[in-house]
Homo-oligomer: A and B are copies of this chain.
Amino acid sequence: MSTPTADWLRLDQQICFSLNAASRAFGGVYRVVLKDLGLTYPQYLVMLVLWEDGELPVKRLGERLRLDSGTLSPLLKRLEAAGLVRRERSARDERSVQVRPTEEGLALRERAVEVPRRIAAATGFELAEIEELRARLDRLTSALDRAAAEG
């Protein structure tokens, strides 16, 4: 015997709402924690990738973070204005713009190592539970992307 249609309709509305609410709640915590570093959450994500990769074109950055140039261009300009990042046209391919952290941007990493621990503490979750949730969310994202692509 399957669940009545009307029931899972209601629950489904709540899952996206819960997800959205959780995402915004995270935003609130990050706002507090990142305030000292002078970063917003998306800017922090960009810096994470740069700390990992050292240097990469805007294109790759967008692929890593699922963001397009409409979001990244102004964001990178702000990071550049803050002195954390430099952007320069690639010599080999002048369509491409290389982004790399400045000395100041690299130095910021040492103050950022605190961040994940503080965030993890704020969730009140065990590491294993976080990991499981993350896996489930990634699976969800893949399914949703597939569905959106198919129309």
Q: How extensive is the interface on chain A, given as a class?
A: 35 or more
Copies of this protein in the assembly total 2
For A26, give its contact among B20, B112, B129, B134 (CB under 8 Å).
Answer: B20
A25 at the interface (CB under 8 A from B): yes
B residues less than 8 Å from A121 (CB atoms): 147
Given A8-B116, A9-B48, A9-B113, does the pair A122, B137 have CB atoms closer than 8 Å?
A: no
Look across to chain B and name the residue whose beta carbon is closest to the beta carbon of A13.
B116
Most buried by B among A115, A122, A151: A122
Given A14-B116, A48-B14, does the pair A8, B130 have CB atoms closer than 8 Å?
A: yes
Q: Are A11 and B130 in contact (CB under 8 A)?
A: yes
A56 at the interface (CB under 8 A from B): no
CB<8 Å pairs between A and B, sample of 9: A9-B48, A9-B52, A11-B130, A12-B116, A16-B26, A18-B138, A25-B145, A28-B145, A125-B143
Residues of A participating in the B interface, judged by any CB pair closer than 8 Å: 3, 5-26, 28-32, 41, 45, 48-49, 51-52, 64, 66, 109, 112-113, 115-117, 119-125, 127, 129-131, 133-134, 136-138, 140-141, 143-145, 147-148, 151
